[in-house]
Structure 1
Amino acid sequence: MTDKLARRYRRLLLAYPRAYRRSRGDELLGALLDAAAPGRTGPTVREAANLIRHGLRAHLGRPASRTVVVWAVLTVVISGVFSAAFATRAGWETARPLPRTAQARAMLAEILPGQDFTGIHDAPALFVIYGQPLSWNSARDLLFGDGGEYDQSGIAGVASAPTLPPQETVELVQHNLRAHGWTVYSLKVRDIYTCTEPCDPGGQYTTIVAQRGDTVFRMDVYSPQVPISTPISAGFVRATPFAVYPFGLTGGILGAVVAFLLFGWASRRTEGRHPARGVVKLLLSVTLFFWWAPTLYAVPWMARHYQDEPNPSWPPMWEWLGQPTFSLLFLIACGSALLGLALAALPRGDREPLSTAAV
């Protein structure tokens, strides 16, 4: 039992730096074994948490600090999720091109035969902002309030003269979708308000969503009471490609590891009499605030939005982080982080100068 307990303690001691384990590992292990109750075969939860916490403090060069682990965890987590978001955007590049105009018309003819759709054009890119591919000309929109317009593109059309009443249209579309191998999701029926709520609804519209392979179909059918010139709109987008998930996982892990290493390096560099110690701490606070604040705002908002949308695919990961809506804050935080790392690289003031003989 003692050997088994010792092995488990040794695994927890891996949280400490190697030099610390070599110099004091046996001493610490002996103290833990002496304090353990007879018959124990494993560390308690409290012991495990304390060993990991103190080991991380030692890794970060601040064994006496009570908050350094908290700062490190906040930095590593947010860096990991941002890295994962960037990686998922790269994963989206593996998606097939969107259907062309002729293919979209053919699919619409299968889904709702006899209905004429207009306004169908080839999509310029997989993701667009104000209908155009992302470019340097879009920088002002991204940075100053319109980043939310950056969204997944699709190919869509509208019908201004329905051939069937709304309810019959919905039933026929569902029947034809299933007949052609589409998976049809639950209908969503929403009220349309023409004034600020609370007020009487001005009509309703029904949303039909279906998926076949990597293609997602959506149609909105409006009731006659709704004052709209195009009572039916329909379109196709690509579902989330499988590569997004391994890309995101790999990017998140790599980003978290790099963030931990950089945080540890900066923490050890600024421990003691460092000329920029206070400024580096301030810059870290600024960085974490501008990274975490949009995320904490966006996550509950996106959760509510996703619940209301009959969408078989999750929204892109960067939207859950408030990006690119708050991209300006993200860039300010990145600049703050880089400046903090640069200041941490300054020479420390508590090092002994080289002697004349050594020179």
Structure 2
Amino acid sequence: MPPTGDPLARRYRRLLLAYPRAYRRERGEELLGLLLDGAPAGQTRPSLRETADLIRGGLRCRLGRPASSTVGVWAVLTALICGLFTAALASRVAWETSRPQPDRAEFTAAFAEAFPRHRLGDDVSTARALFVIYGQPLSRESLHSLLLGDGGEYQEGVAAGSAVGPMPTAEAETLATARQRLRNAGWQVYEPTSEVLQTCADPRCDPASQPVETVLVARRGDTVLRATFDDPRTFGSYLGVELQRAAPPAVLPAAVLAGLVGGALAWLVFAWASRRTEDRRRAPVLLGLTLFFWWAPVLLATASLAGHHLDEPHPSWHPLWEWLGQPTLSLFFLVGLAGALILLVTALTPRRDARPLTVSLG
């Protein structure tokens, strides 16, 4: 046995922690002896190549299934999606550090600041929570809607209102005045965007007669203002305004840290389950279905939101869980979760045989 006081032996032992405990118990001393015998005289620490080889070999050994050429890919996909789910959960918790959504007084002051000559209607609505579903805070009664069909209604709360009466100035002048006043008040004003709304499907309709929607977005501190100019003949009001909070600073670091920890833990659990289910032929099929139900919403939502973000300015990005298709497609997540639980239960059941672990150092 190598002397415990040898610094090279201690460092090799630390690197061997990359291997599963059963492998270290069975082959650890033998492997350590081989490494020490092959080390040049006077060497006190492993080379970079040895370090990389030992870590790579240990991680591959943890995955088991030595005949599989794709188990590493499945492990990465599992760790990545679990890390994203963990990051999304942590970001939602970090949202609780935000100030409450704007109240009526704050909304009225912001409206008057940007549109002083326009009359605000009495139907100003305010949010009862940071995030609401159908305008109400999340509750036990709304969980069914959240998880089974109407998850897309779970959104950031907003304070909203609209101008009433005739427009005192032309839209172009109103927009230019609002941009200047907001800049003077310390708002960061983004370039307005316009979109022609197809309200007539008949090919004979004159495109010039279609209503145009123009959106102005600005941000000051943790508050985002969104003003929408519409055709009053179509929408009843020529101007609608929304005010809401941007993501608080704690969201990003919380999501990154939780994502890294969650991904690492998921990789370790995957490796353990992979070794425990080497003799279960249905395990790869069940894993493939689980990952399909978890990844499909991510791909769909990311493709949709990426285009949406490119089309108009976003001083505060959509929450991370929306990029993962949640809770809009939460039924997919729940089916995948059921598959993952079945896999874990399968891994917990005793194996038919206990084959020794083998690995090559490359």
TM range (shorter): 0.7 to 0.9
**Post-superposition CA distance 1:139-161 (Å, at most 9, x none):** 34333432212111110101132
**Is residue 139 from structure 1 mapped to residue 132 from structure 2 by the alignment?**
no
Query: Please, which moves more after superposition, 287-296 or 20-29?
Result: 20-29
Match of 1:167 in 2: 172
Q: CA deviation at 1:203?
A: 2.4
In the alignment, the residues of structure 1 paired with residue 238 and residue 146 of structure 2 have an alpha-carbon distance, to the nearest angstrom, of: 32
Where in structure 2 are the equivalents of 1:230-241 lying within 5 Å?
230-241=237-248
Q: Does structure 2 retain, via aligned residues, the 8 Å contact 1:280–1:344?
A: no
| Aligned CA distance change for structure 1 residues 181 and 337 (closer, same or farther; 3 Å) | same
Tell me which residue corresponds to 1:154: 158
- Do the aligned partners of residues 187 and 12 (structure 1) sit closer, same or farther apart at CA in structure 2, a change above 3 Å counting? farther
Choose which of 204, 208, 218 in structure 1 pairs with 2:212. Answer: 204
TM score, norm. by length of structure 1:
0.83
Aligned AA for 1:173?
A
1:104 and 2:111 equivalent? no
1:78-117 superposed matches below 5 A: 78-117=81-120
Structure 1 residue 223: Cα displacement:
4.7
5+ residue gaps in structure 2? Answer: 1-10, 41-46, 356-362
Quick one: which of 254, 257, 266 aligns to 1:250?
257
Which residue, out of 16, 30, 33, partners 1:23?
30
Aligned length: 332
**Following the alignment from structure 1 to structure 2, what is the Cα–Cα distance between the partners of residues 108 and 311?**
20
Task: Report the residue type matching 2:228 in the other structure.
Answer: D
The amino acid across from 1:141 in the alignment is S
Residue identity matched to 2:150:
D
Any idea what SS the aligned residue of 1:234 has? strand
Are the structure 2 counterparts of residues 298 and 29 from structure 1 closer, same or farther at C-alpha, using a change threshold of 3 Å? farther
Letter in 1 for 2:269: L
Please name the residue that 1:61 is paired with: 64
3-state SS in 2 of match to 1:257? helix
SS of structure 1 residue aligned to 2:273? helix
- Of 227, 230, 243, 1:222 maps to 230
Greater RCO structure (CA 8 Å; 6+ sep): 2
Instruction: State how far apart, in whole Å, the 2-side matches of 1:212 and 1:231 are.
Output: 24
2:326 & 2:227 partners in 1: Cα distance?
27
Structure 1 residue 227 displacement after superposition: 2.2
Q: Which amino acid aligns with 1:211?
A: R
After TM superposition, the score normalised by the length of structure 2 is 0.82
Matches within 5 A, 1:189-200: 189-196=194-201, 200=207
Percent of aligned positions that are identical: 48
- Displacement of 1:281 in angstroms is 2.8
* Distance in structure 2 (CA, Å) of the matches to 1:197 and 1:52: 65
> Do 1:166 and 1:223's aligned partners in 2 also have CA atoms closer than 8 Å?
no
Deviates more, 1:8-17 or 1:343-352: 8-17
Give the Cα–Cα distance (whole angstroms) in 1 for the partners of residues 39 and 81 of structure 2. Answer: 34
